Structure 1
Amino acid sequence: MANIGSENMTSDIILKLSQKVNALLARDDVDGVVITHGTDTLDETAYFLNLTVKSDKPVVFTAAMRPASAISADGAMNLLEAVTVAADPNAKGRGVMVVLNDRIGSARFVTKTNATTLDTFKAPEEGYLGVIVNGKPQFETRVEKIHTCDLFLTYVISRNYPMW
């Protein structure tokens, strides 16, 4: 879709990502989608997709706080856990999720709280949807509010507006 630093995300790219995800999820041979994303704007992109994806199939964002060259890199495990969550039948109907550091968060509530710590994505007041225990998702709650809105996005934004 795009191979850019997340600090370079634009509204045009996010809209195209939403359209691509909706098209993929409409296919019978697709059970869910996992998106790898830089951490700078992951929460904003995930929230936008939470509002615009029109499917109950799982959409899971993941990232890495440490580079692959680090002694304790987290990217590979986060990716494995994101795929595991997306493949779990209990992930259906939970809106867009963010999976990092053994935690499953709702895109509605997850926010980046620190630029350097491994456990930076938190859902401070609302809590997490669940956790990963011994490689298996354990869902504890769900967001009861409808996760999509009635936006009907048919026009591609003609200008790239920065995220901030």
Structure 2
Amino acid sequence: MAPLILYFSHPGENFVAGKVRPLTEGNTAVLAKMLGQKVGGTLQALLPVTPYPLAYQETVTRSKAELAQSAAVAWQPLVQEPRPAQPLFLGFPIWWGTLPVIVSDYLRSHDWAGQPIYPFCTHEGSGGGDTARQLTQLCAGAQLHPALIVRGSRAAQADLLLINWLAANYDDCHL
């Protein structure tokens, strides 16, 4: 069964290599598209109903408030939801050492029993943060595979890292 590559990413101003810089495409989106070229399947963005601001500081303010208040973040309907037993590549940035609220809310809304999930994430210094524990809780019963963790500023150069991760973790890898 062809995989689904579902990802949340933030374009606009991002913290990259110690500076705020404008990005036309978020780092996680860059990695998701590279992944799609390797494994095929359906590539789909998890988009909030109310988009995050393009300005870095405004996004920081909003995302910190969502996290502190446990505010729900609604997402736009997906063209394709994961089917049972379909490999799901799940991508997200690490915000404040954790999953963005939209990602945790999405995961909370599904039954992941038996679902093969291959997480991949980008960060700009926090590594994977607390996401391994969170994913284990939010995706109870899933076949959760080790995450690919990439520094966002190096996402476009992560081809070899991506190939090695797939070879080690994805049974249907034919690279």
TM-score (norm 2): 0.33
The structure carrying a bigger helix percent of its residues is 2
TM-score (norm 1): 0.34
The structure carrying a bigger strand percent of its residues is 2
